[in-house]
């Protein structure tokens, strides 16, 4: 039973071919393409309004140099939200429960922000490793600590997204299993448990959106330090 709980996180395959590429490419197929005419339908209007509001909020603390990342960060946000939401449907696979995928997104983007800071303003970028007014005996220790914290950032990005989604999926499966087991024996308790399961599913929808937003928000904060 314990093994079957974690089977949902195994990458699906068909005839030995991993299907994770299809799961990653599916969100871009579902989004409608804006037409060339002035009047759009309601779905495209809501989609455009959401992306514009999110981009404006994200780019607010950044200067003009950081606005070049608007398209990349907005696309990443929509991509993560769609994948997380599709993973809540029955008989689906959530690619963002794989630490390898999340690290593959976090490490290159974090490294790009560090490289931009080192290239454009190396003094300011290196200055983050040593807070102002540090006593001289503590300088070597603080430099080591700040360097370690700098390299932990992409790991924290990937692990945070993976852990939150994995814990939510496991909890949903555990409570759903309890409902099926209790239904023949204690129907009243099973109904109450099903109500808890419904509320937990609503919470997981919010977590799926919030974790995608937090992932992109932290990337924008890292970018703000280096532009």
Question: Average pLDDT, stretch 163-181?
Answer: 89
Of 49, 70, 28, 96, nearest to 219 (Cα)? 70
Please write the tens of the pLDDT for every residue from 75-91.
898 889 988 988 888 87
- Residue 154, number of CB atoms within 10 A of its CB: 21
- Residue 6, number of CB atoms within 10 A of its CB: 12
Which DSSP helix (H) or strand (E) runs through 17?
strand 17-18
Lowest-confidence pick of 125-129, 156-160, 172-176: 125-129
Q: Can you tell me which residue has the tokens 């037409």?
A: 35
Instruction: With H, G, I as helix, E, B as strand and everything else as coil, classify residue 222.
Output: helix
Rounded distance between C-alpha atoms, residue 43 and residue 138, angstroms: 57
Joined tokens for residue 91: 């008989």
CB 213 within 8 A of CB 152: no
Query: Regarding predicted confidence, which is higher, 22 or 196?
Result: 196
Rounded distance between C-alpha atoms, residue 206 and residue 136, angstroms: 47
CB 163 within 8 A of CB 150: no
CB 97 within 8 A of CB 152: no
CB 154 within 8 A of CB 103: yes
Residue 8 confidence (pLDDT): 66
Of 217, 172, 18, nearest to 100 (Cα)? 18
Question: Average pLDDT, stretch 142-158?
Answer: 90
Percent of the chain with pLDDT over 90: 25
Residue 203 confidence (pLDDT): 93
Residue 207 confidence (pLDDT): 92
Of 159, 157, 162, nearest to 97 (Cα)? 162
Residue 1 confidence (pLDDT): 45
Joined tokens for residue 8: 């949902």
Please write the tens of the pLDDT for every residue from 39-74.
667 777 888 888 888 888 888 888 877 888 888 898
Residue 2 confidence (pLDDT): 47
């Amino acid at each position: 039973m314990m093994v079957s709980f974690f089977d949902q996180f195994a990458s699906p395959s068909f005839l030995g071919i991993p299907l994770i590429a299809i799961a990653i490419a599916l969100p871009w197929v579902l989004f409608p393409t804006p037409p060339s005419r002035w009047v759009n339908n309601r779905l495209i209007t809501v989609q455009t309004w959401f992306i514009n509001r999110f981009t404006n909020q994200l780019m607010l603390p950044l200067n003009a140099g950081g606005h070049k990342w608007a398209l990349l960060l907005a696309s990443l946000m929509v991509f993560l939200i769609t994948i997380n939401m599709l993973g809540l449907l029955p008989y689906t696979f959530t690619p963002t429960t794989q630490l390898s995928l999340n690290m593959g997104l976090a490490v290159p983007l974090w490294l790009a922000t560090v490289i931009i800071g080192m290239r454009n303003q190396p003094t300011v970028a290196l200055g983050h490793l040593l807070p102002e007014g540090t006593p001289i005996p503590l300088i070597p220790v603080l430099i080591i600590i700040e360097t370690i914290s700098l390299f932990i950032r992409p790991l924290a990005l990937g692990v945070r997204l993976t852990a939150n989604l994995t814990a939510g999926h496991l909890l949903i499966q555990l409570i759903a299993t309890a409902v099926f087991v209790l239904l023949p024996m204690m129907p009243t308790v099973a109904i109450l448990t099903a109500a808890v399961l419904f509320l937990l599913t609503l919470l997981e929808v919010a977590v799926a959106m919030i974790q995608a937003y937090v992932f992109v928000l932290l990337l924008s904060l890292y970018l703000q330090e280096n532009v």
